[in-house]
Structure 1
Amino acid sequence: MARLRLDDPDLPLADLMTAWPRTIPVFVRHKMLCVGCLVSPFHTVTDACAEYDLNEETFLAELRQAADQG
């Protein structure tokens, strides 16, 4: 089984939040409805950033920082 990578462009948001639950507050802080969304098993960070008009590089940096805490 392949190891999950936070920066994998094909990683679904549901898998990302399951593997790195410390990233959930990042989504909430940006007022994103991704947490618990029925589309999260299919959407990626790229999709979410496009939907919420966020800079993907900056958002990924925030996710990495949150995932690395603890």
Structure 2
Amino acid sequence: MAAVAAQLADLTGLMDLVRVVVGREAYLADLWLLEELGVLRGQSVMVADNVIMPGVSRHLEWVRAETREKRG
């Protein structure tokens, strides 16, 4: 995932839309990676399915959190 995200960022600049196509156990880790690589903008949209399934609540909490809450 990291290599693909880095290539996309290099080729197209920052992303406005990201579609997550991984198992839901990887949603949060992949989101953190995309943020760490600087691929997402403040108004980027991330699309993920199955977010009402068990095991995705931490991902949803992170997505819904304000930037200041994420910093500490």
Give the TM interval when normalised to the shorter protein.
under 0.3
Larger CA Rg, structure 1 vs 2: 2
Structure with more of its chain in strand, by fraction: 2
TM-score (norm 2): 0.27
